[in-house]
Amino acid sequence: MASHIYECIEKIGQSIIDNRGFLTELDREIGDADHGINMARGFGEVLAQLPADNEDIGAALKKTGMVLLSKVGGASGPLYGTACLEAAKVCAGRTALTAEDGKTVFAAVIAGIQKRGKAVRGEKTMLDAIIPASEAYAAAVDAGAPVDACLDAMCEAAKEGAEYTASIRATKGRASYLGDRSIGHKDPGAASSLLAMEAIRSYVKGA
Amino acid sequence: MVGIVIVSHSAKVAEGIVELAAEMAADNGHIIAAGGLSDGGIGTDPLRIQAAIEQADTGDGVAVLADIGSSIMSAETAIEFLEGSGIRVRIADAPVLEGAVSACAASAGGTSLDEVIAAAEEARGFSKLA
């Protein structure tokens, strides 16, 4: 993967900002109707503060994490912020990442989100998109698939995972107040995670 | 004296709780509000919470009272950032307003951080109608 970490983060941010209405609508159904607004605010600030000429992936992720922590406002701030800070640690000083490195980054991201949110798979959270995506990605890398195919496998699993969240009951976060009424609605965090992964794929593919 | 930090999604809520709880304490300088975002929006900000903890600490530790949702996660993030600072911080598993009032009363009495936390957490089981 080439290093233009700003462009990659910009793609993620732009996708989140473009989909702010969609994410907020998902959150209106089972939460407090602010996920899209919060995430767009956070990424707007990230794009404003991130130095565009920065080549150090670790430094860029650290900056992104700190801004998300402070500017998002909802639970997704500490969750995505911690995910970025943990990813930053394993990317410190790096200006490029290999497909193999992607597995390490995924592991750091998942560990960060679990540390902060104390959630496990199957609780209708972003982890239900991210963990299967990580597994599908790692399996494709281990099988020697080209990076594009690895990222396709990642996005496919993330999409399935995000869809799966609609079929289960929330036990974490604001949606857990709704109990069984949360069933039938997709988790907004899983949806924003999918958008982020699709944006990473589109960056790597140069699309 | 144990410091107290009030975390809420709303700056007004946090400031209001400080105002109310400070009535229990002769010296209200160590009860600090950490509500809302820096732009005035609704939400919680670990960096604001971290700054409030630093401000509230006088060496005897800081008790954090937090409201719903992300406030606990943000407070935990702030506490992680303070690792190595030497400031002792604990989050009370207590309703934010009632817990804050109990914590302030305990803190004003010169008790330890653990005792302040215990006082705040007692508020959890307090019946208003009994």
Domain spans in chain B, listed from the N-terminal domain onward: 3-125
Q: What is the pTM of this model?
A: 0.92
Strand ordering across the sheet containing B31-35: B31-35, B3-8, B62-66, B89-91
| H-assigned helices in A91-184 | 99-117, 127-142, 147-164
- Look up the domain containing A37 and give its range: 5-204
Q: What are B65-84's pLDDT values in tens digits?
A: 999 889 999 999 999 999 99
With contacts defined as CB-CB under 8 Å, which chain A residues touch B46? 69-70, 77-78, 81
Average pLDDT over residues A13-41: 95
Confidence of residue A2 (pLDDT cuts 50, 70, 90): very low
Q: What are A85-94's pLDDT values in tens digits?
A: 999 999 999 9
Q: What percent of chain A has pLDDT over 70?
A: 98
**Cα A93 from Cα A85, distance rounded (Å):** 14
The ipTM is 0.84
Query: Would the pLDDT of B123 be above 70?
Result: yes
Give CA angle at A53 (A194, A44), nearest 5°: 45
Query: Would the pLDDT of A197 be above 50?
Result: yes
Query: Would the pLDDT of A3 be above 80?
Result: no
User: Which CA distances in Å does B110 have to A88, A139, B60, B106?
Assistant: 42, 58, 10, 7
Which distant-in-sequence residues (6+ apart) come within 8 Å of B89 by Cβ? Answer: B53, B61, B62, B63, B64, B79, B82
Residue pair A104/A57 in contact by the 8 Å Cβ criterion:
no
Instruction: Tell if the CB–CB gap between B9 and A73 is shorter than 8 Å.
Output: yes
With contacts defined as CB-CB under 8 Å, which chain A residues touch B41? 41, 73
The label of the residue with tokens 């990424």 reads: A43
Residue pair B49/B74 in contact by the 8 Å Cβ criterion:
yes
- B3-125, what's its fold? Rossmann fold (3.40.50)
Give the phi and the psi of residue A94 in degrees, each rounded to 5.
Answer: -90, 145
Which distant-in-sequence residues (6+ apart) come within 8 Å of B23 by Cβ? Answer: none
pLDDT at A207: 66
Chain A, nearest residue to B77 by Cα: A78
Confidence of residue B26 (pLDDT cuts 50, 70, 90): low
pLDDT at A172: 86
Least Cα separation, residue B34 to chain A (angstroms): 12
Average pLDDT over residues B38-48: 94
Chain A, nearest residue to B35 by Cα: A73
**Cα A15 from Cα A6, distance rounded (Å):** 14
Sign, CA dihedral A13-A14-A15-A18, equals positive
Number of domains in chain A: 1
